Amino acid sequence: MTESSQNSLPGYARGERCQEHPYDTGDPAGSAARRRSVLLDMMIVLGLSVALVTCVNGLYVSRYLSRHVKSQQLDQFLRLEASEKPEELAYLFLGDSHTLSGIDPEVIHGSFNFGSAGETTELTYFKLRGILASGKVRIRRIVLQMDQHSLSSSAVDQRSYLEDLRYYTHFVPVSVLRDNYNESSLLLRIRRLFPVIGNGDKLFLSPWNAPAAKVVRGWSTDESRFSSKGVDAGTRIAERTIDAWTKGHKQISEQGLRYVIELLTLARDHGIEVVILRFPVSKTYKDVLGRKGLMSRDRFYDHVLSAIREKVSLSYEQIDFYDVFEGHPEYFADSNHLNGEGAMVFSQMVSDRLRRLHDQRSTETP
């Protein structure tokens, strides 16, 4: 190889010592110092990130969560639990948003509305189990909502409980949620401590001066009027509502039905009387539902009630008000939720029926 060709080779090929990396001084003490510096920088970044998330989370809790229906509902129930004299509820209403918006407890003496939007029968069961385990509130009767969408797999598939962990973990241990929903304990604890995770849009999209939801003994309603929407708009609203719990979902999920049976068994074992309540819907909702070709209302209830009779030895009452407001769209906030006016009228009807059932049982008891 010629001298010129040797000079064109890299230094390491000519046997020369490689140039050391500019940060590699060969000084162990200097390398350790640099590692400490990098570690310190990482800790500072992590600390600032945690501080930022904590500040945003605090803002979310104070500005949005504390004004939310579930937070106020839970606070009101906790006040019942904290009473020096244990509270006795003549009626505890359980269910989803139909119950939440449709039952005014001030009309039904000695009652509390513990309905919750998007709540599955599984979460309702765990909520009741937690209440009974605490022993701080005595319950004589539960009124359980049972509508055609109540057992749909839609709410389970959406994992709606993750948005309300602070609410549900008052009644349900994290370990139970972990086992039932196959979730990580760490994830659940982080979501409980930092509810803003996954909900940041609610913080930044909700009005800064939005008033807190009005909640009365657990009841919260919407003063909108479905009758003002017009026929076409009303039909579209009903279509979207029904599609949400039917498209791609089982109308009667095995899990939903299983926890109804678990809940009724729990009530029976604690000597609690049970009333099953069917809520009214608008005529528009009924018409759209009829065109969907779904399981008929009678077949749905026959299936559910026969499964209950097969699994649980329990005497319960049924109240069916499904058709009662067919000619009163002004009583609805949307196609299937009562507004404030409708809730007051409906609650009086429920109160009267419950009173008659109570009187009937009293005369039949020897």
Entry field: residues in the chain:
366
- Mean pLDDT, rounded, for 210-214: 70
User: Helices 174-181 and 185-193, interaxial angle, to 10°?
Assistant: 130
What is the SS3 assignment for 275? strand
Among the residue ranges 134-143, 209-218, 224-233, the one predicted with the least confidence is 209-218
Cβ-proximal residues to 322 (8 Å cutoff; 6+ apart), any chain: 278, 279, 280, 281, 297
pTM: 0.82
DSSP, residue by residue, 117-134: TT--HHHHHHHHHHHHHH
What is the SS3 assignment for 173? coil
Among the residue ranges 234-238, 246-250, 358-362, the one predicted with the least confidence is 358-362
Measured CA to CA, the distance from residue 349 to residue 146 in angstroms comes to: 17
* 51-364 belongs to CATH 3.40.50.1110: yes
Q: What pLDDT digit, counting tens, does each position of 77-107 carry?
A: 999 888 877 778 999 999 999 999 999 999 9
234, 104 contact by CB (below 8 A): no
Query: What is the CB neighbour count within 10 angstroms for residue 72?
Result: 18
Q: What pLDDT digit, counting tens, does each position of 59-70 carry?
A: 777 667 767 888
φ/ψ (deg, to 5) at 228: -90, -5
List the chain domain ranges. 51-364
Would you place residue 191 in the very low, low, confident or very high pLDDT band (cuts 50, 70, 90)? confident
| Per-residue tokens: 157 | 């598939």
DSSP symbol at 226: G
For residue 25, the model assigns a pLDDT of 53
Cβ-proximal residues to 351 (8 Å cutoff; 6+ apart), any chain: 107, 108, 109
Among the residue ranges 5-9, 69-73, 87-91, 287-291, the one predicted with the least confidence is 5-9
Best CA proximity match to 350, nearest among 325, 315, 314: 325
